Amino acid sequence: NFMLTQPHSVSESPGKTVTISCTRSSGSIASNYVQWYQQRPGSSPTTVIYEDNQRPSGVPDRFSGSIDSSSNSASLTISGLKTEDEADYYCQSYDSSNHQGVFGGGTKLTVL
Amino acid sequence: EVQLVESGGVVVQPGGSLRLSCAASGFTFDDYTMHWVRQAPGKGLEWVSLISWDGGSTYYADSVKGRFTISRDNSKNSLYLQMNSLRTEDTALYYCAKDATRTQGWSYYFDYWGQGTLVTVSS
């Protein structure tokens, strides 16, 4: 079993760029796709990135995803930050050794 | 429009049982693998279980294995989670989520989520 580790919180000013990391504890980050979900208070999660770097329709191109094998991590980058981006963000992948889904602990993004 | 509507969440005593339901609409239900994901109050997301489009494959998180059973009734477009031997740590909002991959597979990419149903395990 592996874990996905995210920073507990990040903050940045409107208009700036922020990157949230998600580090896989064992096995290659490239072994299974990584998704990123946004969850606003009181709402269900919605997808902002799937399959490492794909954006669902309707998600602005300010959101981008990538993976880095050297650090064994995935990253979500949000540029041109808006106050509406303030939310919790979760990375998620799949452990094919035991057929279990894996979520990171979540990162609270504050835009102020 | 895809809709997932969970129900069945209540307050239950430790050791008790409960069955959650999820009514699906807006897509061909029996083409898709389905999942349950939960979120304890103020905590992060935790994947709970998967069931394949035909019910032939099921998988569980270690934390619920042997206590929870996932099932589906494709004739009713419904997903279920039978929860036995409930513990206080099972207290959470339980979401039904649709897998994005159509037929004969799963990706663990949850493209649609319900609004959740709250299960509280307390004496």
d(CA B62, CA B36): 14
Q: Is the pLDDT of residue A26 over 90?
A: yes
- Closest CB to A106 among B35, B44, B107: B44
Integer Rg of chain A from CA: 13
Average pLDDT of chain B is: 96
Residue B100 confidence (pLDDT): 95
Give the residue-averaged pLDDT of A44-65. 97
Give B115→chain A minimum CA distance, Å: 6
pLDDT at res. B73: 98
**Res B105: pLDDT:** 83
Mean pLDDT of A13-38: 97
CB B44 to CB A32 under 8 A?
Answer: no
Q: What is the pLDDT of residue B104?
A: 72
Segment B81-120, tens digit of pLDDT: 999 999 999 999 999 999 999 877 888 999 999 999 999 9
Take residue B20 and report the two structure tokens written for it.
């959650």
A76 pLDDT exceeds 80? yes
The DSSP secondary structure of B22-34, one letter per residue, reads EEEESS-GGGEEE
Residue B63: is its pLDDT beyond 80?
yes
A33-41: average pLDDT: 97
Residue that has been written with the tokens 């699906």 in this structure: B24
In this predicted structure, what is the pLDDT of residue A32?
95
Look at A44 and B45 and tell me if their CB atoms are within 8 Å: no
For B60-88, give the DSSP string.
E-TTTTTTEEEEEETTTTEEEEEE-S--G
Structure tokens at B86: 């409930």
Q: Is B113 exposed, middle or buried (0-12, 13-18, 19+ CB in 10 A)?
A: buried
**Interchain CB distance below 8 Å, B45 and A90:** yes
| b/e sequence A40-59, b meaning 16+ C-beta within 10 Å | eeeebbbbbbbebbebeeeb
Q: How confident is the model at residue B75, as a pLDDT? A: 97
The mean pLDDT value for B20-38 works out to 97
Structure tokens at A109: 């993004």
Tell me the HSE value of B31 on the side-chain side, using a 13 A CA sphere.
7
Q: How far is B122 from chain A (nearest CA, A)?
A: 23
Amino acid B102: pLDDT:
82
Place B44 in a pLDDT band, splitting at 50, 70 and 90.
very high
